[in-house]
Structure 1
Amino acid sequence: MANFYSVLLTLVCIAAGLIWWYDAKVNKPKREARIAAEEQRLQQQLDAEARERLAPQGGLAEFAQSVFPILLIILLLRSFVYEPFRIPSASMMPTMLAGDFILVEKYSYSLRDPIWRTELVNLGKPERGDIAVFKYPPDESFDYIKRVVGLPGDRIIYQNKTLYIQPACADTAAQCPPLEMIRKTAQQQNEVYFSGSTPLLRFTEQLGESSHEILVNPASANLSGEWVVPAGHYFMMGDNRDNSEDSRFWGFVPEQNLVGRASFIWMSFEMDRSADSWLPQWFPTGVRWQRLGTVE
């Protein structure tokens, strides 16, 4: 469940806040009254240690008072500023690898409440070439990450492993921009990626302001299709073009499904443990320090 941790963190934060509030409003006045009565009986002021012995704060209330501010800060940061995600698959290679841990800017597009995801403030729209995290349209309990290829109103054609885009145009046909082939520039294969035993071809592609690399499998079948992006929706594709389940297969991403824009790789683990290792398969085999930094 993609939203599980947000819901859990929100509920725990609310519970801690309510316990702290109840203690401050109900129990604390009782403790202060007991201390005042004892000081009046003794005709002297008690020190802090004596006050604590006479009217101690409950352990649960003390714990809630300690953790609530921390939980609130984490909740606000995670809900409205940055949220960490882990890349689980190879669909965004070579830009992102399985084992990369990224930060997603939650404020890039809109601020939403952490439970029902109701839009609170609209701060912007995705741009062509953004790497976006979103709720998977067929099953919103999963988070997906892909690159924004088509904006509302765009005409998208994918044919012979080549991408064509006709940007959304005005009502007058004469004002419509032409269909543009997105050119791919072959890259030197300093680092080779494979699909099984097949080496993948590596290209540089320019989408809007984003210059990034993509992978193409020369041995895979040609996938062709044409789409017109509806209003309020986006067309997403993975950078590993022949190994990505994206809008070519399951359709468009509604704007309300957007979570944020991927901005930074803060950790990257190698996950190539052999099957006969005594350690579990999820245990990292190393750290890819060179991958840490911003993403395009």
Structure 2
Amino acid sequence: MTDKTSTAEIPKPPVKAPKKKTPFREWLDSVVFAVVAASLIRWLLFEPYTIPSGSMEGTLLTGDYIFVSKFHYGTRTPKTILQVPLTHQKIWFTEIPSFLDWIQLPQYRLPGFTKPKNGDVIVFNYPGCPERPDEFGGYDKYPVDLRTNYIKRCIGTPGDAVEMLEGQAYVNGKVFSNTAGMQMEYEIETNTQVNDKVFQKYGITEFGQEISAEDKTIYLVKATEQAVKDMKGLDFVKNISPLVQAKADTTNPNYNTFPYNSRLFPYNRDNFGPIIVPKAGVTIQLDEKNIAMYKGIITTFDGNDDAKYLNGQIVLNGKPITSYTFKQNYYFMMGDNRHGSDDSRFWGFVPEDHIVGKAVFVWMSIDKDGTFLNKIRWKHLFSIIR
């Protein structure tokens, strides 16, 4: 005899159909995803920038839209984390700060595949200078990662000796090779008035009439070496001469240069140095000249919590010091528009922790003064920055 058993079927719970997202929810999810993705790409890989001024003319033009590589030199980890995404210093179209500095994280740099080199075009956070407070958002206005973005060419790397002689840059005693786009200020004497379109034809975007007389007209222009050579062949051009400031001329306050001590450093925009770019791990003796040159680094940029300049001495942690070892690398930057650039000649060195990335290419270029058909500089599009 066998026993038979039976089991009753257990009812399955009803399956709920997935709740369909509303159009608003789908839109919101898409926006959140786009913001997160854009923020990650902008932080880790590439970030777009616009060239607002002429300090890099004629390599980069006002109205150029460029991409800057973050991964060339290594991406910096976030420092100011309480910030509206995809903003810099202020909320779009307002004067409202886009950040809170209540939390400041230690900043590190992820591994990159190269280091900043002489000749690289680099975007960095403008450090400012303790001896020259200004309105451009330097050390005394914003955290490091939110200071105003500048773009210049790297002339000196850590340990280099940088010098300007009659407008020509030298690095470690050798001529720094000028790029084709580098320009300076010239005086052009002509026997007639010149139409603006003539200057524009030769890529001269900055020009102005200085003197107009019966037998001559003089223009002040900022031009490349090639443009000057080409214009010399014009029949109405009588003479072209560079406007290079004489050595040791410290009488013009417009050329007040770093480190703001004309007795020790009688420099100007065209005759400057030589000065040594600070290098991490290098120790210097703090004599009068070195204190004048590097006190801003020791007291402001090198991360010393209690460093002061008092009575001609550097006081660190309450004690005067006679030598100092630099904690990080620094760089010397200059604009290709040599006579139209506010750069290291006027405010000093760029700390390594201020470097944002390498400028790699121009993806759009708009001439605000161009006509309807010539608003876009077509030849400048998708050009590699050299």
Task: Provide the residue aligned with 1:133 in structure 2.
Answer: 123
1:99-114 equivalences under 5 Å are: 99-114=63-78
Find the residue that maps to 2:36 and give its secondary structure.
helix
Is 1:94 the counterpart of 2:58 in the alignment?
Answer: yes
Please state how far the C-alpha of 1:256 moved relative to its aligned partner.
Answer: 0.5
SS at the partner of 2:359? strand
Which one-letter code corresponds to 1:294 in the other structure? I
The equivalent residue for 1:191 is 202
Q: Structure 1 residue 182: deviation in Å?
A: 3.1
Equivalent position SS for 1:97: coil
Q: Is the 8 A contact 1:269 1:284 kept in 2?
A: no
Residues 166 and 244 in structure 2, CA contact (< 8 A), matched pair in contact too: no
Distance 1:256 1:191, change over 3 A: same
- Is 1:268 aligned to 2:365, yes or no? yes
Q: Could you tell me how far 1:104 is from its partner in structure 2?
A: 0.2
Aligned partners of 1:149 and 1:237 also within 8 Å = yes
Q: Aligned residue for 1:171? A: none
Maintained 8 Å contact 2:68/2:123: yes
Taking the aligned partners of 1:251 and 1:72, their CA distance within structure 2 comes to 36
**Which of 224, 227, 238 is residue 202 of structure 1 equivalent to?**
224
Alignment partners' CA distance in 2, 1:234 and 1:184: 18
* Secondary structure of the corresponding residue to residue 225 of structure 2: strand
Matched residues in 1 for 2:152 and 2:359: separation? 10
CA distance 1:102–1:59, shift in 2 (3 Å)? same
- Which consecutive residues of structure 2, in runs of 5 or more, have no partner in the other structure? 1-11, 81-105, 129-137, 139-143, 182-198, 210-219, 227-239, 247-268, 280-328
Deviation at 1:101, TM superposition (A): 0.5
Residue in structure 2 matched with residue 295 of structure 1 by the alignment: 385
What do you get for the CA RMSD once the two structures are aligned? 3.2
Larger radius of gyration: 2
- The separation in 2 between residues aligned to 1:272 and 1:88, in whole angstroms, is 14
Cα 1:217/1:64, change in 2 over 3 Å:
farther
Distance 1:99 1:164 in 2: 30
Task: Verify the 8 A CA contact 1:268 1:287 in the aligned structure 2.
Answer: yes
Q: Please report how far the alpha carbon of residue 75 of structure 1 lies from its aligned counterpart in structure 2 after TM superposition.
A: 1.2
Q: Which runs of 5+ in 1 are unaligned?
A: 1-38, 167-178, 205-215, 275-282
Structure 1 residues 265 and 183, CA gap change in structure 2 (3 angstroms): closer
Per the TM alignment, residue 64 of structure 1 is displaced from its structure 2 partner at its CA by 4.0
1:230 partnered with 2:194 = no
Q: Comparing 154-163 with 118-127, which one deviates more in the overlay?
A: 118-127
Deviations 1:192-245 (A, max 9, x none): 4234342334238xxxxxxxxxxx982353432112100100000000101111
SS of structure 2 residue aligned to 1:240: coil
The TM-score, its normalising length taken from structure 1, stands at 0.64
Alpha-carbon separation, structure 1, partners of 2:365 and 2:27: 34
Superposition map of 1:242-261 within 5 A: 242-261=339-358
What is the TM-score when the length of structure 2 is the normalising length?
A: 0.50
Size of the alignment, in residue pairs? 217
Q: Matched residues in 2 for 1:186 and 1:262: separation?
A: 17
Larger helix share, 1 or 2: 1
Could you tell me which amino acid in structure 1 is paired with residue 151 of structure 2? I
DSSP-derived class of the 1:196 partner? strand
Residue identity (%): 35
Higher mean displacement: 265-274 or 226-235: 265-274
